Structure 1
Amino acid sequence: MKVPLLDLKAQFKEIRADVLSAIEGVCDDQSFILGERVSTFEKQVATFLGCRYAVGVASGSDALLLSLMTLNLQPGDEVITVPFTFFSTAGVVSRLGATPVFVDIQADTFNLDPEQIEKNITSRTKAIIPVHLFGQCADMGKILEVANRHGVKVIEDACQAIGAEQQGQKAGTMGYTGCFSFFPSKNLGGVGDGGLISTNDETLKDLLLALRVHGSRSDYHHDHIGMNSRLDALEAAVLQVKLPHLNTWNTKRQQNAATYDRLFADAGLLNRITLPHTVPGNVHIFNQYTIRAQNRDQLMSYLQEHGIGHKVYYPVPLHLQECYQPLGYQKGDLPVSERMATEVLSLPVYPELPESQMELVVSTIKDFYANH
């Protein structure tokens, strides 16, 4: 038996008729760019998140980029973020001519360590981008306290965390903006690229609506220099079908994570691996189930040989990436991020994953450690 890291076909099978009907409706209307489907979906997501406004854009990366564009960043400006994340979190900062300032993470949550922020804030700091990695919120209370004291905006990278909560508030609703991705592998995934920005500020919402269409508020009149970053009607139609299922899918991921926790404990593996940690007050929605493993690379080879899906998010921290060498970071500067890059391993956790396959994953890992 092979165990895939992710099986999108299993989800599609359950909602196939509704998805195809939604796609057919868009094709019948021949209305593909923005329009009623996108605006309706935006309202639905805003209701789901508990915020006032949501603006559909072309990707999670664009959601981050557009959020930063509203701050009018200049060369020399700085944005604090983490190196243990997908590249776009920092890449969007660089695209605007600003400088990413990397701050280390917490070993238990893999999220931004609030205690490291203050010493990295300068007169040039314009924003902080915490990442709600793997589906769990960073410590927004502490992050916002520092940011507010210094007059710095907080842009939430919630691309892996739609539906996650902290102290009863949804990810993406606590900062200046929240940024979401609808990449197909996300808990709420489309049929291609797509993204969304959440906000409670009407003026900011209006600016974002303009910026996503080249800075235009009416045809061929441009108040700003924007970009082309629209959520397609086709994506919105499919996401409308999926959104009502999201809470159920997130709950199933949580149940799968709990099953793994139990199986690993029963297998006596807690001296070999470290289980994901959920902070009290957080609702973790497990976009990934990520353990820390001894002899991680050898374990990966063993899992590969035995057909067990797995992946490392992320093998090279951003401060050590070749393109960021000019920033002057050295190995050892951010030790927690660097250590996590050598230990983390994500295992299958998608909602449709049967328990028998989770048992196989755990037994294969147990066999590896028994023989190595």
Structure 2
Amino acid sequence: MKIALCSSFVPFVNGGYRQIVEWLETTLLEAGHEVDRVYLPEHDDPERLFKQMAAFRFVDLSAADRIICFRPQSHLLRHPHKIVWFIHHLRTFYDLWDVDAYRGFPDDLKHQGIRDALRSADTAALQEARKVFTNSRVVGERLRRFNGIDSEVLYPPVLRPERFYTDGFNDEIVCICRIEHHKRQQLLVQALPFCRTPVRLRLCGTSSTPGHVAALRDMARLQGTADRLSVEDEWITEDRKQELFAECLASAYLPVDEDSYGYPTLEAAHSGKAVLTTSDAGGVLEFVTHELNGLVTEADPLQVAAAMDRLYEDRELAARLGEAATARIAELKIEWRTVLERLLA
């Protein structure tokens, strides 16, 4: 079958939104299909929004037997056999509209009109799809609430999960993801002064926010905890990622109302490591259950510190939670066989 994998991208910003496409491409090629990737750049600027949407609308993919669309606004593509694996809305115009810090432009009649037109266009384009999947229940609920679209949850696996392994439990909590305000690495740094144990923190990933990494380092220095913070502010290779997860005490992933469980959660689980998260982390909570396969706290430095100390002091607990996290993957049927069965049905 000839399959086009279609998505949008932010130039020079990598992340899970690219990996879901690239890993599916690899899996489809191994299954004997012909695959092409189709990317168009995307920016949330209201003034450019409809030009970008029109660009997707005019792309001709009639040579493909089916197309699979991921990141917005790729679902605006036209094709008689369009499948959507929806990973999030342009959230500024949806659930984050009332949050001034995220919206970044006035809540006036002009922008309300842009918002309403965008939502109408999204709904119409999604209704064209043969089938709509989402990467989490959280995203599925947003689709139903804002667009009246029913969907099926299809959890995205990691590529070749057998490459992850466990190699003991050192003194570090690792956080491996893009270093951004909404990923809340700052909450982990703020927790360090409240830790009673010598537990360490390692932050790994790139940042698109100028000065953010330097601000985290300065925060640790001013708190007197710089000696317990390590930062690798670069793209983390798969080999390095496997090593970090294998040796760490646990993984921390504390985003604000995340769209899905996030690849860091799954990669930690494949490595037999528990995940520390917060009660407002959105889709992460579809995977992590408190004291079953991870620890869930309020988004408060004192509570996060207490959880870090608990993992440091009780390595048997850390190991037990990690084993349960691995078992959770099978429980949710997070595997490529399931993905191909549903997307190609």
Give TM-score, length-normalised by structure 2.
0.29
Give TM-score, length-normalised by structure 1.
0.28
Higher RCO, 1 vs 2 (CA within 8 Å, ≥6 residues apart): 1
